[in-house]
Chain A
Amino acid sequence: MKELLIISGKGGTGKTSIAGSFAALAAPVVLVDCDVDAANLHLLLNPEIKEEHEFFGLPKATIDKDKCTGCNLCQELCHFDAISEGMVNPFLCEGCAFCFYICPEQAISLRDNVCGHWFISNTRYGPMVHAKLGIAEDNSGKLVAEVRKNAREAAKEKNLEIIITDGPPGIGCPVISSLSGIDLALIVTEPTLSGIHDLKRVVGLCKHFGVKTAVCINKYDLDEKNTRTIEEYCAEEDIQVVGKISFDPSVTKAMLNGRPVIELAQLNVSQQINAMYNLIYRQIST
């Protein structure tokens, strides 16, 4: 089983459009959306949900008013400022249970906390595992781990060789959780100074965790000077630029129609994405 992860550092570089197109090219395949805060891949693949599961975060504290004597020890000791006037603010409570242990009156209990849902769905390209984190919930890294575990099980069960994962933006907890055990991380960047800055940080992260990387420069013709800077940087870092995709409003049009752009096979961008996929496929299958 091979796992390809698509990440970007900076958001909005075209990760999901490329992941959706790869899904069509690699089918049948297992698809994963690890951007659990703001998932978008479902908008291209129109999954039909087959299973829905609750995801439990750490339990949150609640204070029993009848037992509370107002000693305020919990409020003094809570490092997250989650307690005031004998009440726990659930958005600030991180579930550490410190207050639960130290309350002299045992007035604090821990309540189960459903902080999101994850789904197994059918798409026209294969099973898809995706999730929705509850509003204002944390634990995105753990939910990513849960989603990925189930994607591997789905791949085993259906005997599918490739897992394609649309990753989250940034370099924090959900991205770190997405990187473990990946065969190749494809970093999608764009030729802007912000794109270059964020590319360098995400390359640093992949190196830190020893993950093999390749780079795709999306909308490369928007600023060819910045594109050359990215190519030179990748050469110095010994990272292969596996694709350069043109700026083309058809990508947005395909998104508006809820289809991966690759289905419009005659387009220049579709041919570029296809060539890039073939190159990546050869890399991960050897």
Chain B
Amino acid sequence: MIISVASGKGGTGKTTVSTSLALALDRIRPVLFLDCDVEEPNAHIFLKPAIATTEKVHRPIPMIDYDKCTYCQNCSDICAFNVLAVLEKTVLIFGELCHSCGSCWYQCPEKAITQTDKEIGLIESGKSQNMDFSNGKLNIGEAMSPPLIKAVKAKISPKKTTIIDAPPGTSCPVITSVKDTDFCILVTEPTPFGLNDLKLSVEMLREIGVPCGVIVNRADIGNDDVLRYCTRENIPLLMQIPFDRKIASLYAKGTPIVVEMPEYIEKFQNVYFEIERMVQS
């Protein structure tokens, strides 16, 4: 089973939930943890994996063979992303804008465009206790994260329960992360900001057909609007975590809740069993 953890709004406790859930499950079954928040990966701070391998991730961008190029401008005319600018004696390539769609190198009438690899980030993999761990780290200045997220997700193995920590928001990086997962846990907080972003996430998940449930973090800091919304929309409430200075302080130090507060191990395992029941029914 593949469970993604997302949140709409950042800072609601996504990584707190995903790492504690993974550690609680690691005691009873094989687990793979994937940190897909490649812009700001944080799970390694909590899981402290021993990194065994680092691989660079590339994506193809166009390269011009000037012996063949006739400066016909076909490539710049067909490129939807304004990557290529054909000048009198040269072709400028803005690689950051390239979506690697392949259109220019396939369609060049002179076969003058080939592909070259642009490095966009890396994947670090290793073990945290029994758990397999991988995260993606996007290179600074690289705008597009989905190709790196896809490379991280290529690690998914059907033999293991996979937990995916997704980035915040509701657009392409999150969609790439949660797509084709069996269930998505949405972590929120009971405030107007939390509710606003939860609604956007729920709409997004409904569009792409991924079932979801909610964990309310800092459950006592705000009002009941999030709970009322979940009841009205028939979204299962999986758990409530109170605002507790001890939890905040553990988070600050990078210690997962289940490590210092073992009473949470069973709670997170129960969240998993409930999800399993929902997915199988």
On A, residues with C-beta under 8 Å from B are 8-13, 16, 35, 37-40, 43, 58, 77, 79-80, 91, 94-98, 101-102, 133, 135-138, 140-141, 168-173, 176, 191-194, 197-198, 201, 204-205, 208-209, 222-223, 226, 249, 252, 255-256, 258
Determine whether the beta carbon of A170 is less than 8 Å from that of B40: yes
Other contacts beyond A11-B9, A173-B143: 15, CB < 8 A: A8-B10, A9-B40, A38-B168, A40-B193, A43-B193, A79-B99, A91-B208, A96-B103, A98-B103, A136-B207, A191-B252, A192-B254, A194-B15, A194-B40, A198-B40
**B242 contacts the other chain (CB 8 A):** no
Determine whether the beta carbon of B252 is less than 8 Å from that of A223: yes
CB distance from A244 to the nearest CB of B (A): 15
Determine whether the beta carbon of B252 is less than 8 Å from that of A12: no
Determine whether the beta carbon of B193 is less than 8 Å from that of A16: yes
| B7 surroundings in chain A (CB, below 8 A) | 11
CA distance in complex: A98, B105 (Å): 11
Determine whether the beta carbon of A138 is less than 8 Å from that of B172: yes
CA distance in complex: A98, B78 (Å): 8
Count of B residues near A, CB < 8 Å? 55
CA distance in complex: A169, B107 (Å): 37
Determine whether the beta carbon of B103 is less than 8 Å from that of A40: no
CA distance in complex: A170, B248 (Å): 22
Sample 16 A-B pairs with CB under 8 A, ordered by A number. Answer: A38-B170, A38-B200, A79-B100, A91-B207, A133-B171, A136-B175, A138-B171, A140-B169, A168-B169, A171-B40, A172-B138, A193-B45, A194-B42, A194-B251, A201-B140, A255-B191
Determine whether the beta carbon of B102 is less than 8 Å from that of A98: yes
Determine whether the beta carbon of A96 is less than 8 Å from that of B101: yes
| B10 surroundings in chain A (CB, below 8 A) | 8, 10-13, 169
A138 nearest CB neighbor, chain B only: B172
Given A12-B11, A205-B140: A136 and B204 within 8 A (CB)?
Answer: yes
Determine whether the beta carbon of A170 is less than 8 Å from that of B42: no
CB distance from B104 to the nearest CB of A (A): 9
Determine whether the beta carbon of A96 is less than 8 Å from that of B107: no
CA distance in complex: A205, B171 (Å): 21
A17 nearest CB neighbor, chain B only: B193
CB distance from B109 to the nearest CB of A (A): 12
A8 nearest CB neighbor, chain B only: B10
| B252 surroundings in chain A (CB, below 8 A) | 191-193, 222-223, 226
Query: Residue A205 contacts which of B99, B141, B145 (CB distance < 8 angstroms)?
Result: B141
| A95 surroundings in chain B (CB, below 8 A) | 80
| A191 surroundings in chain B (CB, below 8 A) | 252
Determine whether the beta carbon of B11 is less than 8 Å from that of A140: no
CA distance in complex: A208, B140 (Å): 8
CB distance from A235 to the nearest CB of B (A): 21
Given A252-B222, A256-B222: A170 and B167 within 8 A (CB)?
Answer: yes
| B269 surroundings in chain A (CB, below 8 A) | none
